């Protein structure tokens, strides 16, 4: 991909202005009802310049999640320095994630449809967001490293991926929970966080190895599917993309 030339301070300010305007409009009107023209007008920036800075609304969504990721990386490092307890680490980190979401629930709800649609470039499951997904998995993997977590040696290198899949499921339910104060989502989150260390510990039982291998295969195929590009659907890519061969 060809990178845009470095921007000066004025252009960085313009980028922030466009981004903040987009988030404001997404909150008020929703993602689908907001146009790039609306965003440009709200930001007081020329339409062409807005298109140059952010090529699409989806790019604005990706930028939003990148800003969240920066804080997540910092918090992950702090938690790792505080304790070796995996249970404490994962509880503190997930608490931080959901506090981020709660801080701007309106925008999360506004973006729920586009981020949940695998065909959207802004989806957390699309190949276009592979970089964000990889960095998120890496943070979770670092929480596992050096901790007191008991887990099957085959699964340890993929614990970050398993935790990421769990987090995505919890976040999806959280964004759609309509109960007062998201009572159901909070209960599910609490119970899940209690279960995670115990379930990982169960994988260390000798008889569990066969099932561990099946779990590992599912995880590998899931992430293969996330990175799959439809334009690569040819005989040459059939070997590279085994979508989905669980035999």
Say if residue 88's pLDDT is above 90.
yes
Amino acid 1: pLDDT: 30
| Residues 190 and 85 grouped into a single domain | yes
Residues 40 and 116 both lie in one domain: no
Residue 13 has pLDDT above 60, yes or no: yes
Does residue 103 share a domain with residue 31? no
Residue 182 lies in a domain: yes
50, 103: one domain: no
Percent of the chain with pLDDT over 90: 65
Does 20 lie in the same domain as 106?
no
Tens-digit pLDDT profile for residues 91-133: 999 999 999 988 887 788 778 778 878 788 888 888 889 999 9
| 243 falls within a domain | no
Rounded-to-integer distance, Cα 16 and Cα 120, Å: 23
Kindly report the number of other CB atoms within 10 A of residue 153's CB atom: 10
What pLDDT, on the 0 to 100 scale, is given for residue 10?
47
pLDDT at position 226:
87
Structure confidence at residue 17 as a pLDDT band (50, 70, 90): very high
Is the pLDDT score of 246 beyond 80?
no
pLDDT digits (tens, 9 = 90+) for 136-169: 999 999 999 999 999 999 999 999 999 999 999 9
Co-location of 30 and 151 in the same domain: no
Q: Output the pTM of the full model.
A: 0.83
- Same domain? For 157 and 168 the reply is yes
Q: Would you say residue 1 lies in a domain?
A: no
Is residue 18 domain-shared with residue 30, that is, in the same domain?
Answer: yes
Tell me if 121 is assigned to some domain: yes
Q: Report the chain's mean pLDDT, rounded to a whole number.
A: 87
- Tell me, yes or no, whether 3 lies in a domain: no
State the residue range of the domain holding 176: 58-238
Q: What is the CATH number of the domain that holds 62?
A: 1.10.357.10
The domain boundary, picked from 20, 36, 55, lies at 55
- pLDDT higher than 90, residue 239: no
| Domain at 31, CATH number | 1.10.10.60
**Count of structural domains, the chain:** 2
Q: Encode pLDDT of 48-69 as tens digits.
A: 999 999 989 999 999 999 999 9
What percent of the chain shows pLDDT beyond 70? Answer: 88
pLDDT in the model for residue 3? 37
DSSP 17-80: HHHHHHHHHHHHH-TTT--HHHHHHHHT--HHHHHHH-SSHHHHHHHHHHHHHHHHHHHHHHHH
């Amino acid at each position: 991909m060809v990178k845009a030339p470095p921007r000066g301070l004025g252009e960085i300010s313009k980028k922030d202005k466009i981004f903040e305007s987009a988030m404001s409009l997404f909150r008020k009107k929703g993602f689908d009802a907001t146009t790039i023209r609306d965003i440009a007008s709200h930001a007081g920036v020329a339409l062409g310049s807005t298109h140059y800075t952010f090529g699409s609304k989806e790019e604005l969504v990706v930028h939003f999640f990148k800003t969240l990721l920066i804080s997540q990386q910092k918090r992950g490092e702090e938690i790792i320095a505080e304790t070796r307890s995996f249970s404490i680490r994962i509880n503190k980190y997930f608490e931080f994630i959901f506090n981020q979401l709660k801080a701007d629930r309106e925008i999360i709800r506004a973006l729920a449809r586009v981020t949940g649609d695998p065909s959207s470039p802004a989806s957390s499951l699309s190949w276009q967001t592979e970089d964000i997904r990889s960095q998120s998995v890496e943070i979770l993997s670092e929480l596992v490293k050096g901790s007191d977590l008991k887990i099957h040696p085959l699964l340890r290198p993929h614990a970050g991926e398993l935790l990421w899949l769990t987090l995505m499921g919890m976040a999806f339910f959280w964004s759609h929970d309509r109960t007062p104060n998201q009572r159901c989502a909070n209960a599910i989150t609490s119970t899940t966080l209690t279960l995670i260390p115990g379930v990982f510990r169960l994988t260390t039982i000798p008889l569990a190895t066969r099932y561990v291998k099946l779990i590992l295969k599912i995880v590998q195929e899931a992430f293969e599917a996330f990175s799959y590009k439809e334009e690569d659907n040819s005989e040459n890519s059939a070997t590279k993309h085994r979508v989905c061969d669980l035999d």
